[in-house]
Amino acid sequence: MKVASGFSSELGTCISWGRVPFSEAAKDVTGGNAKIRSSDYLALGEYPVIDQGKDEIAGYTNDCNALCRAPLPCLLFGDHTRIFKYVSTPFALGADGVKVLSPTKNFNPRYLFHYFRTVRLPDNAGYSRHFKYLREIAIPKPSLDEQTRIATILDKADAIRRKRQEAIQLADEFLRSVFLDMFGDPAINPKGWRRVKINEVGKVITGNTPPREQKRYYGNHIEWIKTDNISAAKYFLTKATDGLSEAGLGVGRSVPVGSTLVTCIAGSPSSIGNSAYANRSVAFNQQINAIVPYQEFPALFVFGLVRASKRLIQERSTAAMKGMVSKSSLESVDVYDPPESLKARYASIFAKVLANIDRQTTAEADADLLFKAVSQRAFAGELWSLRG
């Protein structure tokens, strides 16, 4: 039976898998390892610093004494973010909130990594710790040979997703290069453009959360965006899992198409300043500030400007474990105002590239569906023969 994109499956002998407790599959080896404070992250360095944020690498360090002592490869789990990462090279741990997991000899590390990413942990626990829930799960335990086979198949499916993501990333790098070539780094303003603050570029609006106890405020009238829907690797907001009703929109805050949404409160300082373009009207929560461009600033130019100004935005963040940039701090970030003709030209270039990115994003979504389908088959309670 054909599945998709070169992957096929044939119904095989029905074999029941046993399940084992979490403690028999992985050990928590977090204790005793040094942790690098976010304020000590380097932009470049010899060893990567990995934390619980969305980015694979949060920063760097040159301190070899700070390297994690866990056997490699190992798995990292964001106790607050619920993000899993697979690490096979020397690294240092970021700030608090990361659990280091060492697979036992009975489990293939890649198999375990792929399985963990299918586990549904509570999504209503907010910024609380989730490791306690992870420890309660039972894990399917096929033979090591079968684990290796499943891991290989899922790695192939995952590679398709990554190729799509890389194509989008190349487009992103092209747009960043064009922006810097046309306007220069906003942090140093090498072309000497007129300086303005972000609140002169557009109206800044902070989102909010309608009272949760009022069930009538939640529904499907409009998407309610959270920081999970803003990624440094994507241009557009991802689809929200929650929404507001018409009544909820009345007490919530929304912005129109063409707005730029910025992560201003996050569990990881590296996520501060992440931005996404609103290609539809959305509502959003209080961890996000939105910039609604004024008429003389093309929306796509503003989005490019905000992305190029991420470092400036991060510099306004508090030193707390959860980075935070207030509305007033975001409004006061210094940027610049190039000539109208250049802003319009960049917006035109951006629009053409976005059309290609939109096609790539659709392909990426298809690849993601493929990966999820293959994962579901691979980790079913019964074994089906999967052949690539």
The 10s digit of each residue's pLDDT in 304-346 is 999 999 999 999 988 655 679 999 999 999 999 999 999 999 9
263 token code pair: 């992560």
Q: 50 pLDDT band (50/70/90 cuts)?
A: very high
Protein fold of 19-139? Adenine-n6-DNA-methyltransferase TaqI; Chain A, domain 2 (3.90.220)
Give the tens place of pLDDT for each residue, 215-267: 999 999 999 999 999 988 778 899 999 999 999 999 999 999 999 999 999 87
Tell me whether the CATH fold assigned to 19-139 matches the one assigned to 194-337: yes
Give the tens place of pLDDT for each residue, 95-106: 778 999 999 999
Question: Cβ atoms within 10 A of the Cβ of 379, count?
Answer: 19
Spell out the CATH class of 194-337.
alpha beta
The domains of the chain are located at: 1-17+142-168+341-388, 19-139, 194-337
Instruction: Look up residue 204 and give its DSSP letter.
Output: E
How far is the C-alpha of 343 from the C-alpha of 299, rounded, in Å? 10
Partners of 337 in the β-ladder: 194
Look up tokens 């970030």; give the residue: 333
Give the tens place of pLDDT for each residue, 270-280: 889 999 999 99
Task: Write the CA distances from 46 to 33, 35, 49, 67, integer angstroms.
Answer: 18, 16, 10, 11
Instruction: Look up residue 297 and give its DSSP letter.
Output: S
User: 284: closest CA among 346, 322, 227?
Assistant: 227
164 token code pair: 């799509």
317 token code pair: 């963040």
Provide the mean pLDDT of the chain: 87
Task: Write the CA distances from 260 to 8, 252, 254, 339, integer angstroms.
Answer: 41, 17, 12, 21
154 token code pair: 């899922």
Is this structure's pTM higher than 0.75?
no
How far is the C-alpha of 269 from the C-alpha of 53, rounded, in Å? 8
Give the tens place of pLDDT for each residue, 65-96: 999 999 999 999 998 889 999 999 999 999 77
How far is the C-alpha of 368 from the C-alpha of 100, rounded, in Å? 26
> For residues 68 and 163, which has the higher predicted lDDT (pLDDT)?
68
Partners of 74 in the β-ladder: 87
Highest mean pLDDT among 32-36, 41-45, 160-164, 196-200: 196-200
Q: Do residues 230 and 237 make contact, with C-beta atoms less than 8 angstroms apart?
A: yes
CA–chain centroid gap for 164, Å, is: 16
